[in-house]
Every structure is written in C-alpha cells, then in structure tokens.
Chain A
Amino acid sequence: MYSVNYHRAASISDAAKLLKSGDAKLLSGGMTLIPAMKTRLAAPSDLVDVSRLKELQGIKVSGKTVTIGAATTHYDVSADEKLKKACPALAHMASLIGDPAVRYKGTIGGSIANNDPAADYPAALLALGATIVTNKREIAADKFFKGLFETALKEGEIITAVTFTAPAKAAYQKFRNPASRYAIVGVFVTKGKDGVRVAVTGAGDDGVFRSKEIEAALAKNFDASALDGLKVSAKGLMSDIHASADYRANLIAVMAKRAVAAANA
C-alpha cells in the first residue's frame, strides 16, 4: 500500500471539508477500498473515515418507510428485527454478502458508492425503487447507478442514508461465486404499489440493470410459471472465466423464477 494520511471525521460536514484535501477518499468499512489500496489499484492521498459517525448509523422503520444510515454494516442490516419484519428480503440479501467477518465491517453506503457490477445492494436498491440521500440532495436509484463502478455522485458528495417504501412482496436470489462470494448472477424482485420491479446484478456489461422483459411477464402474472419458456437475451451481458454471457442469460431466468417463488412463499 502506498503511503496515505488517515483522518477520522467528527461530523458529515467535517468529512466534506476533509474530502477537499488532495486526492481524498471516504473510508467506511474498507472491505473493498483497503484491498484495492493493498494491490495499489487505488492510491488515495488521504482517507476520511466516516464509519464511526453516529448520524450515519442505524435502521429506522416507520410504517412502510425504511431508512438505513449509510455506515450501517451488512451484519446490522441482516440482523435487524424491525427490518426483518418490514422487508425480510433486504435483510436476507445482506446475509449473503461476503463472509461473516466482511459483513461486520462492510457498509451499505460503501457498497453502493462503489457500485461493483457484481455487488448485491445495487440490485436491491434498484428493485426497491429506493432513494439515495446525500449531504446535498436525494437521488432515485434509477438515476444513481450509472455503469461499471460509476454513480451519479459528484465530487465531494457523501451518501448519508438510503430510504425506500417496503414492498408487499420481495425476494433476492443469488448464484454466488464460491471464491469471491460476489454474484455471478443475482436477481432482486419486488411487487409493490408501483408494480413489479426486477433488478439484475453480476451479469450486465454496464453493471446493474432492470429486466423489462421479466417485469412485463411478471406484471401480468406474479408467479414463477409466468417465466416458463422466457428466453433472456445474452446481448450486453458479461463473459468471463466464471461464466459466459449465454450461461448468465440462462441464470437470470432461473434466479428470477426462484426469487418470485421465494417472494410468494
């Protein structure tokens, strides 16, 4: 790792100030950033640690509205009793990230700011139609995820929370790479007041995306059988040593079916 200057932010506004120094980066759980720094794929001059800020912690459920602080860990999301009642699919999704030690450190804000094309949270937030709250504005998930490791975040902008309305039905199914624990394909399905939303991670050349064809089929009939015979196109899907685009296309249909079955269970 190259030399770096560490700062522990005292507040969100303090973090925003510290972010202006050199080529500074925010540090939350560090589960992606620190490995990237160790391999010198990332070399920030300064790290601004926001993981201990109380104002970024915790999960609030009020009626159907769920708000999760940006520095809330995957473990805390997976274990929160209120969330397990309001939106069990999201708690379940968080329990599938990495391994237990990674879930104790990694955070929801860190995951979505990084927008890894195989990360789980981008699919969840897109399918939930969530809103990403920053220190400057609110951004709809549909406009937030912009491509591989790209988001709508501007220089110096800090995610403070994520908020969404819990849908009537939701589920996430993930075909996991056993070594990296990232999704080879992950599908998050929701059925709420705005209809059916289906988001796919791990598969798209441009990162997370909504599958309009699966959404259309499920809007008519929210049942796994509605996807029988549906052929997902391999166009725009990733091919790598783990899976070809054709294989991923098939997995999208399989994971979507399983997710619908789980959502209806």
Chain B
Amino acid sequence: MSDVSLTVNGRRVSGSAEDRTLLVHFLREQLGLTGTHVGCDTSQCGACVVHVDGRAVKSCTMLAVQASGSTIVTIEGLANGADLHPVQAAFKEHHGLQCGFCTPGMIMTATDMIARHPEGLDETTVRAELDGNICRCTGYHNIVKAILAASQAMAKGAKGRARQAA
C-alpha cells in the first residue's frame, strides 16, 4: 500500500491504495469520479483519458501511485459550474456522441489537441490526433465537426479576452 496524493479538478485529495491500483480505478472507485470510463483496459480505446500535469494520458495504463504528486483534470473538472466547457458545448451542439461511452475520453483528448494547436486545426489533423480514441458507434464525423467548431470558438474567445486585456 502507498499513500497517493493528487490535485484532482482543483481539489487536493489523498488516499491509500495498493501499488498495483490503476489511476482510473483510483479516480472512479476511491474518489467517485465515474465520468472517466474504462473501455478496453488495454490502452487502445481512450475512454479513460484524463489530463495528468497538463497532458492527456490513458489512466488505465498508469498506476495511481505513479501519478502521486501530480495535478489531474477529469471530465468532471472541465465545466465552470453550469457553463459547459466550449468542447463540451460543441459536442452537444454538433451531436458529437451517440451512446456517449467514449465521450469523456474524446473530450479530454480534444481539449489537449486544441491547446497543442493554437494555430487552428483542420480535419486531417483532428482525425490523425484521434488515433487513440475509439467510438464503437462510429460517430466520428460529428466528433470531428465538434472539435473543429470548438477549436474555432476557443480561438475567437482567446482573441476576445486578449482585446479586453489590451
């Protein structure tokens, strides 16, 4: 057993876990954050993607104790109260989900992707970067549309904020 201390969605949490406990199980079972899903459990599908120290990683392929000391953002940490994050809003607007199982991972991957491409995204890049996220409903078309729309909305938002600041 080891002590695991994390900052999850802005809140400092700690607990005790077996060293073999995967981060995704720690989040779901010990912290009750069940928005992060376990899909394939073999690091293929991306349903378990969370941000660890600002990078979108698969929480089914990382031990909770490995993450100790890190800052984690899960799907539950994106919205600002009742206001959806722009990527969540775009998934809703563009019907970027069918059964919704892959959605948390898709959205966490998408927010990371958008942050890494401040110059903007095109369809080819979005599809290539979704390599590690699988949608069994095969709803990729609207997922890609939603990510492109969110990327544009966030770029406009950033410009707006920059103007306000100036």
Looking at the assembled complex, report how far the CB atom of B75 sits from the nearest CB atom of chain A, in whole angstroms. Answer: 15
Q: Which of A3-11, A53-61, A230-238 has 4 or more CB atoms under 8 Å from chain B?
A: A3-11
The answer, among A1, A6, A27, A100, for a CB contact under 8 Å with B109, is A100
State whether the Cβ of A198 lies closer than 8 Å to any Cβ in chain B: no
State whether the Cβ of B98 lies closer than 8 Å to any Cβ in chain A: no
Looking at the assembled complex, report how far the CB atom of A96 sits from the nearest CB atom of chain B, in whole angstroms. Answer: 10
Chain A interface category by residue count: 20 to 34
State whether the Cβ of B57 lies closer than 8 Å to any Cβ in chain A: yes
State whether the Cβ of A156 lies closer than 8 Å to any Cβ in chain B: no
Residues of A close to B109: CB separation below 8 A: 100-101
Looking at the assembled complex, report how far the CB atom of A3 sits from the nearest CB atom of chain B, in whole angstroms. Answer: 6
* Number of chain B residues whose Cβ lies closer than 8 Å to a Cβ of chain A: 27
The answer, among A3, A75, A101, for a CB contact under 8 Å with B18, is A3
Complex CA–CA separation, A111 to B60 (angstroms): 19
Looking at the assembled complex, report how far the CB atom of A24 sits from the nearest CB atom of chain B, in whole angstroms. Answer: 13
State whether the Cβ of B56 lies closer than 8 Å to any Cβ in chain A: yes
Residues of A close to B20: CB separation below 8 A: 1-4, 37
Residues of B close to A175: CB separation below 8 A: none
State whether the Cβ of A105 lies closer than 8 Å to any Cβ in chain B: yes
State whether the Cβ of B19 lies closer than 8 Å to any Cβ in chain A: yes
Within B103-159, the residues touching A (CB, 8 Å) are: 109, 112-113, 129, 131-133
Complex CA–CA separation, A27 to B66 (angstroms): 10
